[in-house]
Structures are given as structure tokens and as C-alpha cells.
Amino acid sequence: MDGQPLSLVDSNTYLGVTISSDLRWQNNTSNIASKASRILNFVRRNVHGYSAEAKATAYTILVRPLLEFLSAAWDLHLAKDVHQLECVQRRAARFVMNDYRRTTSATNLLNQLEWSPLSVRRRNSCLVAFYKAVNNLSPVPVGQPRPCCHQTRSYDRLTFTPLTSRTDYYTYFGPSRK
């Protein structure tokens, strides 16, 4: 570029998302989890004496947006990546409820706080992004709906054929994988 050779890198962060050369999301997930953990630790140090509502608000405002930023583009499909991000939310639930006992279920704490799992929130984010694209509410073009090859009747005018791929690189990349 401009007479300078570009160097080959394994991954690069662009707009807060780490994109690797093999299109896997492990680096992005690790970066997000570590950044969210640092912010959660900051919140824990500074808000430890406050009410559960104040702690929950601090988590919702400062930490959860990091865990969900652009999740419609990088939604995870590997269980270890999903678990890595869910652990941050579970630690936050223990902090908010001030319950660090080993016998207490973090899932029960999440249910008491009425926090849905991050995987559900990411799925909803993907669906919202797809809805906006289909209804021309976003700058992302979807194209025209095509009839599915295995469908005998079409009751809905918006039937989309999912894109297929032989490799995980493209199967799980972007919102087309759902």
C-alpha cells in the first residue's frame, strides 16, 4: 500500500472486534472476556458497599455491553467460547447478590436477577439485525427471498434459503448461520 509491503498478521482488531486470519472467534472471545473481567473487577472494587440494584445497574451499564458488542456479527458456536463469556456474567451475578458460597447455584442467581443467558441475548440480537435487514431498516442488504428447494408449499412470501458451506469458517461466520 503506497509502496510499502503489508505485513502478514494472525489477527487484527477492527472496531473492537478481533478478526483472525482463519475466521475463528477464540481471540475475540478471549479479548472480550478479559476486558469485561477487568471492568467487572473495577465495578466490584468501587461499588461493593452499594445495594444489589446499584450493582446490577453498574453491571448492565458497564460490563454487559462489552459482552454483547456487535454480537450479531460474531455469535459463537463453540461451547468453550460460550462458556468463557457466560462465566463473566455468572461472576457478576454472584457479586450482585453478594453470594459466593460454593453451594449456591449461579444459574439460580441469574434466574432471581431475571438475567437471560448471553447466548439467548446474542440470538435475539441476530434476529433483530436480520429483521432490520429484511425490512430495509438497516444499510445491510439481504437480497430477494428465494423459495426453498425442499418446500412444496409457500405460505409465507419471505422464505429464505440458508447459505451452505463445507467448512466451519463460513458456516458460522456472520448472521447467515442461523
What does the pLDDT look like over 2-27, one tens digit per residue? 888 888 888 888 888 888 877 777 88
Q: Give the residue, 3 or 37, on which the prediction is more confident.
A: 37
C-alpha cell at 31: 479479548
- Report pTM: 0.73
146-168, pLDDT tens digit by residue?
A: 555 555 555 555 566 666 767 66
Please tell me the distance from the alpha carbon of residue 54 to that of residue 67, in angstroms, as a whole number: 19
129-148, pLDDT tens digit by residue?
A: 888 887 888 887 766 655 55
Domain boundaries along the sequence of the chain: 11-177
pLDDT at 167: 64
In this predicted structure, the answer to whether residue 62 has a pLDDT above a threshold of 80 is yes
pLDDT at 109: 94
pLDDT at 16: 80
Please tell me the distance from the alpha carbon of residue 157 to that of residue 144, in angstroms, as a whole number: 10
CB of 43 closer than 8 Å to CB of 58: yes
